[in-house]
Chains A and B, each alone.
Chain A
Amino acid sequence: MKMKRRDFLKGAAGSLALLTLDGKVVDARSVEALPPHALGILYDSTLCVGCNACMAACKEANQMVPEASNGQKLWDNPRDLSAQTLNIIKKYSSGSGIHKDQDQDGYAFIKRQCLHCVDPSCVTACPVSALTKDKETGIVGYNRDACIGCRYCQVACPYNIPKFEWDDPYPEIVKCQLCSHLVAKGGISACCSVCPTGASLFGPVAELLEETRRRLQMKPGRQYDFPVSSIDSGKSHRFKAPRYIRQVYGREELGGTQVMYMSAVPFERFGLPSFPKESFVSMASGIQYAIYKGMVYPLVVLAGLVFMVKKNKNSEEADENTPPTDQGAHHE
C-alpha cells in the first residue's frame, strides 16, 4: 500500500513538473486562423486629417453621449477611449510639430479602437463567453446579458481597449464592435462611411491586406488612387504617396488583428507596443490545457484522492472504535 501511494504522489509531482518548464509550453494552442469572411478596417495615418468626423459618427451610431474635457463643454472632446468613447483620433506631436507625418518637428494622427484580434485575449479570458469572435466576420462582439463584469478582459487585452462603466450601479463592458448592427443590415462601420479621405477604410481583411501591399509598393511623391469608405465602394481620391514605415501594424502582432494601421511615423510614437507574433493567450491557455487535458487529469487525481482519504479515514476510525485508554494517544 505504501508503494502505491508513493507512485501516485510521483505521478502528481510529475504533472506539476510540467509547469516548471519555463518558456516552453507543452501543447501550446496554435494561433487561431483568420475567419473566411473576416471584416476589418485599414487606417492610414498619412491620409487622416484629424477632422474627428469618425468620432461623431461613432457616437451617433452607438448611442454614446459626448464627453467634455479641458473645461470646454461645446463639443465632444474625450481624452481617451472610455465607457462613452469607442473610437478616438489621437495626435502625436514632436518638437515644433508643424510637418505632417514627420517624426521630428512633426505630427501624425492615430485612430484607437478595438483591433478585433485574430486570436483575441478577451474572448479567451471571458469566463461566460460574453465576448465572442464571430465565426464568419471575425468581429469581436459583446453580450451584456451574459457578462458578469469580472473585468478579466480588461486585464487580458494587450491594447487596453475594453472599458467599464465605473459609475453605473449595473455596469457594462464597452468596446467597438465594428458596428456589427450596421454590418448585419449590409452596411459598413459608421467611422469609415463618414471618413472624407479614406483614412479609415472598411472591407474584407484579405482585400485590405492586398491594399497594404499595393501601398507599400508605391513610389513616394507620385500620385495614386486611394479608395474611400469601403474598399469596394468604387469611390476614390488621388493623393501623393507618402513615405510609409515598412510595416503594417496588426498584420502579425500577437497573431494579427483585423483592424490594421499604416503610417509614416514609427508605431511606437503612438504608444503602440511592438509585440511578438505569438499571442499571450496561447501561452496561458496552452499551460492550462497541458495541466487539465479537458478535465481528464483532475478526475483521475480526484479518484486517487478519494481512494487515499477512504483508506486513511477507515484506519483512523478503526483506531477510534477500540476503547480509548488514553485520549489522544492514538494520534501520536
Chain B
Amino acid sequence: MSDHAKPLGGRICTPTFLICLLVVGIALYFAGKRFLYGIGSVTNMNDGFPWGLWIAYDVVVGTAFACGGYVMALMVYILNRGEFHPLVRPALLASMFGYTLAGISVFLDIGRYLNVYNLYLPWQMNFHSVMFEVAMCIGTYIFVLWLEFTPAFVERWQLKNFEKRLNRVIFALIALGVLLPTMHQSSLGTMMLMAGYKLSPLWHTSTLPLLFLLTALFMGFAMVVFEATISSRVYRLGDETSILAQIGRIMSWILAIYLLIRFQNIFMRGEMGTAFSGSFLGNMFLLENLMLLIGLFLLASARYRTNPRLLFIAALAVLIGGSLFRFNTYIIGFDPGTGWKYFPSVGEQMITYGLIAFEIAAYTLFVKVFPVFSASHAADANQ
C-alpha cells in the first residue's frame, strides 16, 4: 500500500459533518421505530413489493457505488497499472463504508435478524440460492475491505508486529477483494432472474449477471472520478485530471461494450418495440441508456474527458444511468401483477439518507485522521 499517504488533519466538526450527524440522528429514530413496531410501521413495502428502497438503493445501487475499491485493486494489482496507486486507498475507504452501510441496511431490512447465524450453519446453507451466495460474498467482503484498509491503521498507530503478520496474508486479501465483488455483483443480476414474469422483459434476461458485473465496473470507476474530483476541490489536493482522464478512457470502453450487449440483447429478444413504445417502462429504459450514452459520448473523446468539468459531468451521468438500470431491475420494472404499488415512505427514505450521511461523515473523519491521500497530494495542498 502507499507508504506516502498522510492524514490531512484539520478541523473535524465542520458544518457538513454536523449536518450529516443530524441526518444520522433522524435515521436512528426511524430505525428504533422499525425494531419496536415492525418493518411495516416505517416502510411502504408490502407483500407485492417485498423489496423496497433499502434493498434497491442501499444494497444494489450502494454497493455498485462502492465498487471503486474493487476496480482500483483490479487495475493496480491484477492488471499491474501502478500509476493508479494513489487512488487505491481513497477508493478503498469509500468502498469500505459503502459496503459496511449496505450490511447495516440489510440488518434493518431482514425481518428475523437474530437468525442470521443460520447462514453459517453448514446444514442450513442452500448452495442453490443466489441470495445465499450474495449474502456470504457481501458479508465476507465487508470484512476483507476493513482488512485491506488496515495498513492505514497500521501506519497511523505504528503497529509493527501486526504489520508483519498482515503482510503475509495481504496478497490473499487483495485477491479476495477482486474475486468476491466479481461474484456477488454479477449475482445481484442473477438474483432477479427468479422474479420471472414479474420483471419487465426490458430487464429480465439471462444476460443480467453480465450486465450487473459491467455496471459495477463502470459505476466503480465513475465513483472514483466523482470522489476524487470532489475531494481534490474540498481538500485542495491539486489537479488529478490527467490520471482521472485515463480512468475515463477505460470507462468509455466498458460503457461501449455494455451498451452494445444491452441493445443487441433487447433487439435479439424482440423487445425493441417495447423500448420505443412510449410506455413508462420503455421511457425508463431509454432514460437509463441515454444517461450512459451521454457518459460514453463525453468519455470517448480525449478533448472532453481531459476537461475536469466535462469529466465530472460524464461520471455523474454514468452513475445516474447505472443506478437507474439497477433501480429499474429491482423496483421500477418489477410488477407482481396483483395491483400492488410501492413508493418509499418518508421514514424509509430517512434511513437511506441517514446511511448516506453517515458514509460522508465517516469518510471526512477518516481522511483527516488516517493516512488516505498520498503525500504528493498533501504537498500540493500546502501550497
Contacts and interface: CB of A to CB of B under 8 A. Distances in A.
Interface of A: 16, 19-23, 25, 80-82, 121, 124-130, 144-152, 154-156, 158, 160, 163-172, 271, 273, 275, 280-281, 283-285, 287-288, 291-292, 294-295, 298, 301-302, 305-306, 308-310, 312-313, 315-316, 320, 327-328, 330-332
Contacts of A275: 197
B187 A151 contact: no
A155 to B, nearest CB: 6
B103 interface: no
Given A22-B206, A280-B194, A172 B37 contact: no
B171 A166 contact: no
A284 B207 CA distance: 11
Given A148-B118, A327-B376, A25 B82 contact: no
B46 A166 contact: yes
B171 A309 contact: yes
A314 to B, nearest CB: 9
Given A19-B207, A305-B78, A328-B4, A128 B124 contact: yes
Contacts of A127: 119, 125-126, 129, 131-132, 135
B47 A154 contact: yes
Contact of B187 (A169, A281, A288, A306): A288
A258 B130 CA distance: 25
Contact of A167 (B38, B179, B375): B38
A305 B178 contact: yes
A237 B109 CA distance: 50
Given A148-B116, A164-B47, A309-B77, A288 B130 contact: yes
Contacts of B39: 166, 171
Interface of B: 3-4, 35-41, 45-48, 50-51, 76-78, 80, 82-83, 85-86, 109-116, 118-119, 121, 123-133, 135, 170-172, 174-176, 178-179, 182-183, 186-187, 190-198, 205-207, 209-210, 213, 261, 265, 268-269, 336-338, 374-376
A288 to B, nearest CB: 6
Given A82-B47, A152-B131, A160-B338, A308 B194 contact: no
B134 to A, nearest CB: 8
Nearest to A304: B175
Given A165-B38, A308-B77, A126 B131 contact: yes
A287 B190 contact: yes
A16 to B, nearest CB: 6
A268 to B, nearest CB: 12
27 contacts: A22-B268, A25-B206, A125-B194, A127-B126, A148-B115, A150-B109, A151-B110, A152-B131, A154-B47, A160-B47, A160-B337, A166-B40, A169-B37, A273-B197, A280-B194, A280-B197, A285-B130, A295-B127, A298-B183, A302-B175, A306-B171, A306-B175, A308-B175, A309-B77, A309-B174, A315-B80, A328-B376
Contacts, number: 228
**Interface core residue of B46, B113, B175 (most chain A CB under 10 Å):** B175
Contacts of A16: 210, 213
A171 B38 contact: yes
A148 B119 contact: yes
**Interface core residue of A25, A167, A168, A287 (most chain B CB under 10 Å):** A287
B115 to A, nearest CB: 5
Contacts of B374: 328
A167 B40 contact: yes
Contact of B126 (A22, A121, A128, A310): A128
B175 A284 contact: no
Contacts of B50: 151, 154-155, 164
Given A127-B126, A146-B115, A331 B83 contact: yes
Nearest to A151: B50
A112 to B, nearest CB: 10
B182 to A, nearest CB: 8
The 4 A-B pairs with the shortest beta carbon distances in the complex, nearest first, are: A149-B111, A166-B40, A280-B196, A127-B132
B34 to A, nearest CB: 8
Contacts of B205: 22
B179 A305 contact: yes
A132 to B, nearest CB: 9
B164 to A, nearest CB: 14
Contacts of B115: 128, 145-149
Contacts of B174: 305, 309, 313
B175 A305 contact: yes
Contact of A155 (B4, B35, B195, B265): B195
A324 B104 CA distance: 43
